[in-house]
Amino acid sequence: MTTTKPPSLSPRAKSLVRLLVMVELSLVLHLAIIFGIQVGAVERGSLARPAIEARLMPAPSAQDAPQQILVKAIDRPIQSRVEEYQPPAQAAPSESAKSPAEQHKPGLPEAAASPTLVDAPLPLDPTYYPAREVDDHPALVSRVRPAYPAKAVEADVKGDVLVLFMLNENGSVDEVSVLEENPPGYGFDTAVNEWLKQARFKPAMRKGRAVKSRVVYRVNFEP
């Protein structure tokens, strides 16, 4: 049995084979580089952070800014009294200030006296005016201050409450709404609500009359 040897390649054919192998390797290498760049770009794009949007809010005017009240924690409660704002009483007109028609004529019976003119009270304004629509802002006249919550005293925690309340023309509070409480859960809101039930204010004035108003206070609690 005889074996046949495969025909050997000529030097020219061997050179051609080596050239084809090098071209294939170069093509594979270029494809790998291009594919790697595209994958890296996609990964970097997918990890991009979302854009941050900033909005500018108008600053509140000085009239709308809440009034500040500071409450300090104390070891023992202080007995405080409430001073109510009393509008000045109108003095009754004297006898000499009356017109001759209003005075009794001598010799005439009582039934013939001229009727006395009485000024009818002006109707009450039901509107609660904001700060920008009143001439004189309300003012606190009570000396009593909110009680520091016992839970906050024990934890040595400070806080603040932003509150909106409706003040009537007599200087007392009709309605209370807590807008903010920081931090919650220590009873700061309850302390402010209880305080406003007792507090008395000088009412807001508009066109020379006491009117209802909307008042915003920020009550700060510091140990």
Please give the domain boundaries of the chain with CATH numbers for all domains.
Answer: 62-75+124-223 (3.30.2420.10)
Q: Which of the four pLDDT bands, split at 50, 70 and 90, describes residue 97?
A: low
Name the more confident of 78 and 190: 190
| Gyration radius of the chain over CA positions | 44
pLDDT more than 70, % of the chain = 52
What pLDDT is stored for residue 54 in this prediction? 39
CA 208, CA 118: separation in Å to the nearest integer?
A: 21
Query: What pLDDT does residue 98 have?
Result: 58
pTM of the model: 0.50
Q: Compute CA 8 distance to the chain's CA centroid, rounded to the nearest angstrom.
A: 94
What's the confidence (pLDDT) of residue 223?
A: 82
d(CA 102, CA 117): 9
| Helix (H), strand (E) at residue 191 | helix 188-198
Q: Is the CB of residue 148 less than 8 Å from the CB of residue 69?
A: no
For the segment 153-185, what is each residue's pLDDT rounded down to a tens digit?
999 999 999 999 999 999 999 999 999 999 999
- Give the tens place of pLDDT for each residue, 44-68: 544 444 443 434 344 455 556 677 7
Lowest mean pLDDT among 53-62, 199-208, 211-220: 53-62
Q: What mean pLDDT do residues 209-214 have?
A: 96
**C-alpha distance from residue 172 to each of 9, 33, 108, 163, 216 (Å):** 114, 80, 50, 15, 14
How far, CA to CA in Å, does 118 sit from each of 100, 105, 115, 151, 212? 17, 20, 9, 57, 26
Of 44-48, 116-120, 203-207, 211-215, give the lowest mean pLDDT range.
Answer: 44-48
Asked if residue 125 lies in contact with residue 168, where contact means CB atoms within 8 angstroms, the answer is no
